[in-house]
Amino acid sequence: MRCSVCSKEAILELPVYKKRLCAEHYVQWYYEKTRDFTKKLTRPGDKIALAISGGKDSLALAVFFSQYQREFDVDVFMFHIDLGIPGSSQEARKVVEKFSRDLGMELYVYDLKKELGRSLPEFRKGSRPPCSVCGIIKRYLMNRIPRELGANKLATGHNLDDQVENFFKNWLSQHWDWIAKQKPILPGQGKLLTRIKPLFERTEKENTMYLVAHGYDLPGYKCRYSQPAKWKPIVEMIENEHPGFKLAMIKSIERFDYPVSTQELGECKVCGEPTSQEVCAFCKILGLNK
Ligand code: SF4
Ligand code: ZN
Ligand code: ZN
């Protein structure tokens, strides 16, 4: 398989874009595509926190921004939450620290055990599944801490595959407002940071190959609580029959015209962070609502 540009050996084929690319031309193609998309989400002078879990997508996001920040006058830093999950959290933290050193990018680590006295497994209470507790903790901290560090935007590594899978789940449960919230930019209000998804049109495979093309070893750890993605095999089956299906879906989500709730958020009476309830979900799981 030869590169469509220079005829060196290609590292991957992109049927949707009718291209086969070598490592050098793939890095260039990925950067240009993602840059053109990200330009719509950022402004010069932005201070952007990158939510870096240590998974492949988030690491690709960091590598992409190490170049983008120089070209577009934005200031970025990596933000990582060490959840204290035995095995995977230590591994993830090591990898994130290595990327921070390699890319020369500032890193802020929030260590749950150190800051709150409890790791994620120690938070589990009653019948609430660990991913639900984890989601509440991450949503809260990824807004509060980067904001306190001076960020005005938070960038996450959500990829095209995640978005299509979430779309199906939200569509089947008729959560139209959740689909509207899948858009690549969600403007902030008050203490809520603006959230952006620069990898909205990039597949998981494209992100993985972006790291490979840069010569990085791929992280192999997996969170002990992760569940198999039910919709992925079905979506892949359709994509194989109709290349371009996932990209067409994502472009429809981008244009999905359903009003995102503009309900004014109040402030949690315990911590002062934005919430629609008297006490926010984070304070409740910390047991501060008594
Ligand atoms: Fe958190 Fe669940 Fe992801 Fe593990 S799999 S990091 S518990 S959301
Ligand atoms: Zn080439
Ligand atoms: Zn609170």
Output the CA 28–ligand 2 centroid distance in Å: 10
Q: Which atom of ligand 1 is nearest to the CA of 138?
A: 1
State what percent of residues in the chain have pLDDT above 90. 79
Closest-lying ligand 1 atom to the alpha carbon of residue 223: 4
Q: How confident is the model at residue 32 (pLDDT cuts 50, 70, 90)?
A: very high
Nearest Cα residue to 158 out of 142, 146, 172, 176: 142
Least confident of 7-16, 32-41, 184-193, 260-269: 260-269
Span from the CA of 208 to the centroid of ligand 2 (angstroms)? 18
Number of H helices, E strands in the chain: 12, 10
> How many angstroms is it from 210 CA to the middle of ligand 2?
14
Residue to probe by mutation, ligand 1, list 131, 132, 222, most atoms within 8 Å of CB: 131
Q: Whose CA is nearest to atom 6 of ligand 1?
A: 223
Domains of the chain with bracketed CATH: 26-215+227-259 (3.40.50.620), 266-290 (no CATH)
Ligand closest to Cα of 139 equals 1
Helix (H) or strand (E) holding 210: helix 204-213
User: Whose atoms come closest to the Cα of 22: which ligand?
Assistant: 2
Mutation probe of ligand 1 site: the residue of 225, 227, 285 with most atoms within 8 A of C-beta:
225
Which pLDDT score, from 0 to 100, does residue 259 have? 74
User: 276 CA distance to ligand 3 centroid (A)?
Assistant: 11
Beta strands at 12-14 and 19-21: parallel, antiparallel or unpaired: antiparallel
Is 151 in a helix, a strand, or coil? coil
Q: What is the mean pLDDT of the chain?
A: 93
| Centroid of chain to Cα 6 | 33
**pTM (predicted TM-score):** 0.94
Work out the average pLDDT over 1-25: 95
Instruction: List, chain by chain if needed, residues with CB within 6 Å of any ligand 1 atom.
Output: 130-131, 134-135, 223, 225-226
**What pairs with residue 111 in β-bridges?**
82
Q: Is the pLDDT of residue 289 over 80?
A: no
Distance CA 49, CA 195 (A): 10
Can you spell out the DSSP letters for 113-138? HHHHS--HHHH--TT--HHHHHHHHH
Q: How far is the CA of 141 from the centre of ligand 3 (A)?
A: 11
Residues 118-148: tens digit of each pLDDT: 999 998 666 688 899 999 999 999 999 999 9
Give pLDDT tens digits for 185-235: 999 989 999 999 999 999 999 999 999 999 998 888 889 999 888 888 999
Strand ranges inside the chain, DSSP E: 12-14, 19-21, 47-51, 75-82, 107-111, 153-155, 185-186, 194-196, 266-267, 274-275
User: For residue 19, what are the contacts with CB-CB under 8 A and spacing of at least 6?
Assistant: 4, 13, 29
88-107 mean pLDDT:
97
Q: Take atom 8 of ligand 1 and give the residue whose Cα is closest.
A: 131
CA of 36 to the centre of ligand 3 (A): 38
- Closest-approaching ligand to the CA atom of 24: 2
Q: Do residues 54 and 93 lie in contact, with contact meaning Cβ atoms separated by under 8 Å?
A: yes
Q: Which atom of ligand 1 is nearest to the CA of 135?
A: 8
Token pair recorded at residue 279 = 């006490």
CA of 20 to the centre of ligand 2 (A): 8
Order across the sheet with 75-82: list the strands. Answer: 107-111, 75-82, 47-51, 153-155, 194-196, 185-186
Residue with the smallest CA separation from ligand 1 atom 7 is: 131
Instruction: Write the residue with the smallest CA distance to atom 5 of ligand 1.
Output: 226
